[in-house]
Amino acid sequence: MVIEILGEALKLMVLAGLTIAGILVILIWKKGLATRVTYLRFVIQAAALATFFYIFTYPIWLLIMLIVILAMSIVFGRFFCGWLCPFGLYMDLITVARKALKIRHRDLPDRLNKFLHNLRYVLLLVFLLLPAVLLLMDPLPSVQLGIVLAEVLGGPFKPMNILLGPIIPLIVPWAGPLVIGDVNFSYPYVQDIIGYTNGIYATIFPLIFVVLTVVGSFAIRRVWCRFCPTGASLAVVNRFKGFKWAPALHLEKDEEKCTKCGICKRVCSVQVTDVYEQKGGKIDTSMCMLCLRCVEMCPYEGCLKLKIGGKTIFKSRNWLKPSDSD
């Protein structure tokens, strides 16, 4: 047992070491201030994808992982969406392919974009409340720990599996819907769709979903993030007395340094306009995924800052001229 634990710990240490090495390589190799954070994000997203594959080999961790993802947004906002979500990585890679082909993206109308943003809260509420409704209709035979654990993300809690949909890796450690050789392949939400359909629809509907999300991501940046229920930030608690600090990780704008150039609005992958429109201070919008593309691209020194609590951990720099530190 001890040897197994040490073996698993060693795997995580190797993954952490490779991630740190990748970050150091980017910091040393990538001199351009306007793209350095983007490359760092790709390294961290890739490491997160490998971590989720590892976690999925232990089903009992799934509920804990879901709780952590939802709870961390109280402190970190949608940092998970911008830096850790595997589905987000897939869409970012599709964006890279589109740019390589020199095809312009399309933007959604602002009203539709905000409607989809609000819709994800409704979807999140449905998936959180549905298990309670199913439990009332068909109560568990016992509240013993063993039975409760056996029902984790199964039985009446099965609908909550959908909230784990975005973190499904393309290669899975179980019998996936597509097997090539000895490798099992999957795709976010596909197995949930198959589970709620049957017959020929269990083949047609997943294919339609994959095609729509791939084509949609090619045309519109981070299209699924606009209404993903998992990405519904719990930062709305900062509207209540006593939670004004949440999320602790947030963007802040210096009104005096902003010239309304509009770069922050143009580079945002989910079309957040609050950074541009707000005069100054803490950016409260829960649409922001904290990908930091706006901070990275802002050409005015210290105009935009990423802060945790009252401490600045990253700020915009004038990338139009060489930095003294480069």
CATH of the domain at 289: 3.30.70
Residues 179 and 264 in one domain: no
Q: Quick check: is 45 in a domain?
A: yes
Residue 120 domain-assigned (yes or no): yes
Residues 88 and 217 in one domain: yes
Higher pLDDT, 122 or 236: 122
Given this model, what pLDDT does residue 109 score? 92
Both 199 and 264 in one domain: the answer is no
Residue 324 lies in a domain: no
Answer left, alpha or beta for residue 76, where phi above 0 means left and psi between -120 and 50 means alpha. Answer: alpha
Cβ neighbours, 10 Å, residue 127? 16
233 within some domain: no
- Number of domains, the chain: 2
Q: Tens digit of pLDDT for each residue in 8-55? A: 566 667 666 767 777 676 666 666 666 788 888 998 998 888 888 888
Q: What is the pLDDT of residues 212-251, one digit of tens each?
A: 999 999 999 999 998 888 877 555 565 566 666 678 888 9
- Is 287 inside any structural domain? yes
Contacts of 72 (CB under 8 A, 6+ apart): 79, 80
- Return the closest-CA partner of residue 104 out of 28, 208, 218, 232: 218
Tell whether 234 is covered by a domain: no
Domain that holds residue 270: 240-315
Q: Pick the last residue of a domain from 200, 226, 252.
A: 226
Asked if 296 and 34 touch (Cβ cutoff 8 Å), the reply is yes
pTM of the prediction? 0.85
Q: Are 42 and 162 found together in one domain?
A: yes
Q: Is residue 168 part of a domain?
A: yes
Is the separation of the CB atoms in 103 and 225 below 8 Å? Answer: no
Token readout for 142 is 């016992």
Which residues are 179's β-sheet partners? 184
Please say which residue of 160, 192, 226 terminates a domain: 226
Of 197, 226, 255, which one is at a domain's C-terminal end?
226
Residue 127 falls inside a structural domain: yes
Q: Using an 8 Å Cβ cutoff, are 120 and 231 in contact?
A: yes
pLDDT of the residue at 325: 47
CA 15 to chain centre: 20
